[in-house]
Each structure stands twice: as C-alpha cells, then as structure tokens.
Amino acid sequence: MSGERRPMQAVQDRAETVGPGVFLAIVGASGVGKDALLSYARERLDERAVRFPRRVITRPAGAGEDHEPIGEAEFAEACERNAFAVWWRAHGLGYGIPAAVDGDILAGRAVVANVSRGVLGALAVRYERFVVVRVTLSDDVRAQRLRGRGREAPHDIAQRLARVDPAPHHPVDVEIRNDGTLAEGGQALVRAILRART
C-alpha cells in the first residue's frame, strides 16, 4: 500500500494513560456523514462537558469541514514538537488532533473527534477511557454524497470509495447506520456520547 493511502500516527510517549474523561473516536469512510452528525451533536450538548476539537488539516480553508488550515512545513514541525495528541496522513493531506484535548480529558470532559481508523490503536493506548463510534452508509448513497459535497475531483472520489479499512479488526463500541434523516443519526450520536460520559 502506498504512503499516500496508509495513515500514519504519532503519539507522545507517556508512562500513564490520560483520564478520567473519555475520548470518543468517530470513524467511518469518507462521505458517510460524520461531520454532519458531529455538527448536530455539538449544537445540542453542553460545551462545558463535551468538547469537539477542530482538526488541523493541510488543506486551505473553504467550503466543507470547519478545520484549522496549516501548511505542510508547519504541520511537520508541529508533529516534531508533539503538538498533536494524534496525527495521520491520508488522501494526500496531513491531519492532527491538537494535544490540548488532553487537558479536557484530565478535567473529566468527553472529547469527540473524527479520526482515521488507522490511529485507533494509538488512541486506545493514550486514553484511559476510549470509545469507538463507527458511522456506516450504503455504498450508493455514499458515492452520491461524495459527489454532492463538491470537495474532491472525480479521481479523488474514486480513491476514497476504493480505500481499504486500515483497522478492519479493531473493536467498535457503537455503530450508527446513517441512512435515515440527520436528526435520526444525530440523536444516535448524542445518545452514544451521553452514555460514554456516565
């Protein structure tokens, strides 16, 4: 598998896992609606108890996901100084979750983030309480959504549709079939977050 399609990860070495809060990793193939579900949940949950960190991505600001844009050189430097709790590369881009989320976990909050399935193992080692929520959708509807969001060229869409799950055997705690309405999928995510906090 080429480096382009293999997520990479880096987690700062530590003697202990971070707790007592919980990290919820939202995973699923491109186009299944993860960002829409996260936005729905963010609007309905108390930000003092649940945090939704912005991902750092080596992509310019624009339509689509709300993220913190960063240049390639700056991203590499941030990885070197352990500025990310976890980072990976996929689809020609670098992605990172700011290490500041550790403070939220230490304060007992829930942190909810869209991550690559390839970094689940690293996150499970880093956090004392770790929950995986997988979002799924039929292939036909996913292809329509990828084309409809207007973020990728046809070739890039084909690559996303063909991408192999980098962690096919990692345990999943909650599965959300997102082929209904936004409210149905969003409420399922809200319930998963509230359960994880108890």
| Mean pLDDT estimate for the chain | 85
For residue 37, the model assigns a pLDDT of 96
Distance CA 151, CA 156 (A): 9
Whether residue 118 has pLDDT greater than 70: yes
Cβ neighbours of residue 14 under 8 Å, at least 6 residues apart?
A: 126
Q: What is the pLDDT of residues 62-89, one digit of tens each?
A: 756 678 999 999 999 999 999 999 999 9
- Greater confidence (57 vs 138) lies with 57
In the chain, which residue ranges form alpha helices assigned H by DSSP?
34-44, 72-80, 101-106, 120-126, 139-149, 154-162, 182-197
Backbone angle region of 105, left / alpha / beta, with phi > 0 → left and psi within -120 to 50 → alpha:
alpha
Distance CA 117, CA 26 (A): 9
Whether residue 167 has pLDDT greater than 70: no
Whether residue 45 has pLDDT greater than 60: yes
Distance CA 9, CA 65 (A): 21
Nearest CA among 140, 122, 146, 147 for reference residue 132: 122
